[in-house]
């Protein structure tokens, strides 16, 4: 555990909770990165991790990213995340999610959770049976359409910075991952006139994209090397790394996935290759904006879309700042987060949901 304490200290974490319930087989990890700006909000992900260490590393990266995402969007929230170890297609049960809900409840509102990869509205309804500290489910709806909308608008800011025009018509976009967000993003892109290259581990999803939007389907391993204008990662994180960067034939990396870069140096490597990177926690904040609106009882769809649409302007200013100060976009984004966190440093945090 000394290694975990070292990671927590170096990344500024407050809590790391290992969760186990023998009767249901629940094995989960909850990470609270920061409650400086408010309660730590983050989705609960269910994934078949290859090891406990991989699950912990993922939740640490994701929770810290949620702090950055909330701060950049100027929301009164901190950052947290949870992961449940298991196959979402095989290991789900009502009892498992209710057991998980009881653990969430013990945190007394310091951690608020929502939908994430591998979980759905039904799962959240089971969690809600045991705790009030959950947002979403059938009572609120899915954040995926809002995340997709924000990514689409963010792509327009990236296109303006890279090509001189915010129009995506005629551009080629390679979308990696066709879950709730990726599929919705494809609809926005196709309606604007972009050409699509897609891949997904689920062959049926890929086939549906080909039929509905005329997308060209490629194998998962081949998506990186596709000649395109925009590469849009919309699945798991850490896929931009030393192995994949040399394969890229795009001008922009902009997608819905969290923690796209494996390491900070990978952002510099993209910059050296002349590839514009839209920092993930800026461009994919639409889902969090929606969830926060649900939390405050103000989830008016039109207003959430208007708030999410501001991602385009936020990214445009970020790219301008990066270019003017000779920074990479992720370095400029880190400065934005630092400034917003500093503004909150002497304020009283909000703990109650």
Distant-in-sequence, close-in-space partners of 49: CB < 8 Å, separation ≥ 6: 55, 58, 83, 85
- Token pair 């040399």 is found at 246
- Token pair 């359409």 is found at 145
Distant-in-sequence, close-in-space partners of 228: CB < 8 Å, separation ≥ 6: 172, 173, 174, 197, 249, 250
| Options 27, 81, 92, 156, the catalytic residue | 81
Active site residue 81: yes
Distance CA 97, CA 111 (A): 16
Q: CA torsion 212→218→219→221, rounded to 10°?
A: -130
Distance CA 14, CA 2 (A): 15
Spatial contact of 199 and 220, defined as CB atoms under 8 Å apart: yes
List the catalytic residues. 81
């Amino acid at each position: 555990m000394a290694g975990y304490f070292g990671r927590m200290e170096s990344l500024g974490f407050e809590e790391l909770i290992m969760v186990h319930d023998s009767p249901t087989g629940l094995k989960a990890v909850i990470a609270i990165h920061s409650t400086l700006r408010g309660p730590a909000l983050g989705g609960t992900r269910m994934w078949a991790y290859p090891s406990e260490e991989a699950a912990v590393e993922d939740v640490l990266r994701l929770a810290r990213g949620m702090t950055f995402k909330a701060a950049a969007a100027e929301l009164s929230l901190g950052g947290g995340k949870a992961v449940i170890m298991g196959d979402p297609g095989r290991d789900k049960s009502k009892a498992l999610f209710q057991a998980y809900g009881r653990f969430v409840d013990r945190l007394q509102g310091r951690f608020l959770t929502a939908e994430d990869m591998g979980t759905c509205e039904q799962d959240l309804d089971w969690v809600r049976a045991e705790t009030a500290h959950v947002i979403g489910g059938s009572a609120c709806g899915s954040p995926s359409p809002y995340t997709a909308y924000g990514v689409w608008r963010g792509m327009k800011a990236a296109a303006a910075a890279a090509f001189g025009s915010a129009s995506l018509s005629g551009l080629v976009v390679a979308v990696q991952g066709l879950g709730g967000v990726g599929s919705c993003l494809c609809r926005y892109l196709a309606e604007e006139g972009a050409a699509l290259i897609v891949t997904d581990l689920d062959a049926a999803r890929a086939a549906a994209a080909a039929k509905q939007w005329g997308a060209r389907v490629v194998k998962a391993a081949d998506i990186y090397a596709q000649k395109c204008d925009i590469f849009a990662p919309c699945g798991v994180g850490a896929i931009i790394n030393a192995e994949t960067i040399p394969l890229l034939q795009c001008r922009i990396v902009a997608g819905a996935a969290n923690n796209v870069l494996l390491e900070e140096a990978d952002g510099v490597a993209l910059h050296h290759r002349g590839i514009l990177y839209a920092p993930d926690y800026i461009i994919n904040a639409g889902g969090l904006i929606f969830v926060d609106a649900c939390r405050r009882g103000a989830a008016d769809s039109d207003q959430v879309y208007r708030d999410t649409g501001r991602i385009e302007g936020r990214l445009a200013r970020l790219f301008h700042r990066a270019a003017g100060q000779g920074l990479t976009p992720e370095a400029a984004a880190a400065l934005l987060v630092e400034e917003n966190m500093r503004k909150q440093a002497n304020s009283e945090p909000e703990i109650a949901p």
